[in-house]
Amino acid sequence: MKQKIQVPAIHTLLCTPEAAGLLHEFPRELVTDALRFAVKKEREQQMQTEKSPATNVALCKVAAALLQKDYSASCKKVINATGTILHTNLGRAKLSLAVQEQLYDAAFEFTNVEYDLESGTRGSRYQHLEKLLTKLTGAESAMVVNNNAAAVLLLLATFCRQKEVIVSRGELVEIGGSFRIPEIMQLGGAILREVGTTNKTHMADFEQAFDPEKTSAFLKVHTSNFHIQGFTESVSIQQLRLLADQLHVPLFYDMGSGILVDLKKYGVQHEETVQEALAAGADIVTFSGDKLLGGPQAGVIVGKKTFIDTLKKNQLTRALRVDKMTIAALEGTLRLYLDEQEISEKLPFYRMLSTPVEVLQEKARYLKGQLDELTALRSEVKESTAQIGGGSMPNVQLPTFVVAVRPTVFGVQHLETALRKLEIPIIARVQQDELLFDIRTVEKEEIVLIAQSLRQILTGKEA
Ligand SMILES: *Cc1c(COP(=O)(O)O)cnc(C)c1O
């Protein structure tokens, strides 16, 4: 004989202490819906199997999990233990705490974002950034849009519509998240004129492709996220400048990561800076705000004033315009560059990039020490390598130290998932049957949290 279905009434569940806790956190309507869902599931399960009825506490737990999943903050802090400093999926650059006050005011106070305090009339939102950007890069003029993809789009749509843009075949890059040079070209209404080959492009290739009727620009694209080795040749901005002058063609450079400092000082090889690209003769340089600049998501456009003035007049600029919080965060970040001494201390990207390996080793040992008492886990401090990330400098391998852990009670995948599902998720690297916590991107105070979380997952105990 079939067993009778036994589920409590919703109003009964709503009176339990567990539901009271949920009502404290979520509106009544949402709690009621979640409890209804839990009861419905329970009823279905009882119909299909001969299980004993769930307790009220268990039903409230199902509802709680549902409410947490759907309605607690979704975009939130995570701990980056991947070692990748600019992890695009983890928000790229962490902002400097030095911008905190300015960012706070932009968000929670009225601001002069488009108000000229000198004249008491309408101002430009670019005024806050232009002076800093021209001072730091040596450019005549500057403006900022939503991201670097938008900057390139705006450039093409303004100067190259229905016309050809000459690009080397070795520079037709794809950046993660579907930014591809050929496609952005099409979107901007420009016609891509590829020259050269994948590994070699010469000055003469540009010269031969030039057509006074059709050519609107030379575009150089930084091959940010890949590196070709061997029999290669590309045309530099200096060389292209000579040709551009001779043929009266604008010269644009999509630099991707906009570097303002000599990276050699931070322990990696020198990469062309924005200043150098402008000095070499680019009319316009575009770059990201949240890659090696270490600021918020933004697309910075610097270069000749006549070009920038024309860009500002394009209606598309309005559609791609930056928010006041971005302006505040970017201005605050750029102000740090006025005193270069400050950046390795104050900008998280440069702080993490230049942390000496001995310090990393010490931090890794500290984490391992915190885990030694856990019998359900084996851990080891190991040397490893990390990446800069954000599609920048793929050939740079940063030496680092990791704590490699291996649970003895369940598989490494299970541990990786459990860490991801914590209230403050911890993202680590799985390598074969080990989980690696790369210390380079982990802050001191986060080490304790990692240890606590592992203890909780492995023993079920809080402290
Ligand atoms: C990263 C990158 C882009 C895209 O910049 P976003 O700021 O992510 O939009 C475009 N071009 C190059 C060369 C890049 O490296």
Residue 311 has pLDDT above 90, yes or no: yes
C-alpha 279/C-alpha 237 separation (Å) is 9
Phi, psi (deg, nearest 5) at residue 438:
-85, 120
With bands split at pLDDT 50, 70 and 90, how would you rate the model's confidence at 233?
A: confident
Nearest CA to ligand 1 atom 8: 148
- Residues having CB within 6 Å of any atom of ligand 1: 147-149, 173, 175, 179, 221-222, 224, 254, 256, 288, 299, 391
Ligand 1 pocket test, pick from 288, 293, 392, 393 with the greatest ligand atom count within 8 Å of Cβ, gives 288
Q: Which two tokens stand for residue 153?
A: 């789009």
Write the residue with the smallest CA distance to atom 13 of ligand 1: 256
What is the dotted CATH code of the domain comprising 79-88+352-459?
3.90.1150.180
Domains 79-88+352-459 and 97-346 share a fold: no
CA nearest ligand 1 atom 2, residue = 256
Range 285-321 burial, b when 16+ CB lie within 10 A, else e: bbbbbbbbbbbbbbbbbbbbeebbeebbeeeebeebb
Measured from the CA of 289, which atom of ligand 1 is nearest? 7
- Cβ–Cβ < 8 Å for 140, 172: no
Read off the pLDDT of residues 44-55 as tens digits, 9 standing for 90 and up. 999 998 888 999
Position 347, amino acid: L
What's the gap in Å between 258 CA and the centre of ligand 1? 10
How do the domains of the chain map onto residue ranges?
Answer: 10-71, 79-88+352-459, 97-346
Side by side, the strands of the sheet bearing 215-221 are: 141-145, 299-303, 284-288, 251-257, 215-221, 164-168, 191-195
Say if residues 126 and 116 touch (Cβ distance below 8 Å).
Answer: no
Q: Which atom, in ligand 1's list, is nearest to the CA of 257?
A: 15
At 380-415, the pLDDT tens digits run 999 999 989 887 888 889 999 999 999 999 999 999
For atom 1 of ligand 1, which residue has the closest CA?
Answer: 256
Provide CATH code, domain 97-346: 3.40.640.10
Number of neighbours of residue 324 by Cβ within 10 angstroms: 18
Q: Whose CA is nearest to atom 6 of ligand 1?
A: 148
Q: Which two tokens stand for residue 345?
A: 């201390």
Ligand 1 centre distance from Cα of residue 112 (Å): 29
Determine the residue type at 258: G
Instruction: Return the ligand 1 atom nearest residue 177 CA.
Output: 8
pLDDT tens track for 98-111: 999 999 999 999 99
2-58 tens-digit pLDDT: 568 899 999 999 999 999 999 999 999 999 999 999 999 999 999 998 888 999 999
Ligand 1 centroid–CA 226 distance in Å is 13
d(CA 461, CA 386): 32
Q: Based on the number of CB atoms within 10 Å of its own CB, is 339 exposed (0-12), middle (13-18) or buried (19 or more)?
A: exposed
Query: Considering only CA atoms, which residue is closest to atom 11 of ligand 1?
Result: 256
The pair of structure tokens assigned to 12 is 């009964």
CA 313 to centroid of ligand 1, rounded, Å: 23
Contact 232, 200 (CB under 8 A): yes
| CB 301, CB 155: distance < 8 Å | yes
Helices (H), 72-198: 100-108, 127-137, 148-159, 181-187
Q: Quick: pLDDT tens for 114-162.
A: 999 999 999 999 999 999 999 999 999 999 999 999 999 999 999 999 9
pLDDT grade for 112, boundaries at 50, 70 and 90: very high
CA 288 – ligand 1 centroid, Å = 6
Q: CA 388 to CA 96: how far, in whole Å?
A: 17
Q: Which residue has the tokens 């008492």?
A: 373
Percent of the chain scoring above 90 in pLDDT: 89
Angle between helices 357-371 and 444-459 (to 10 degrees): 30
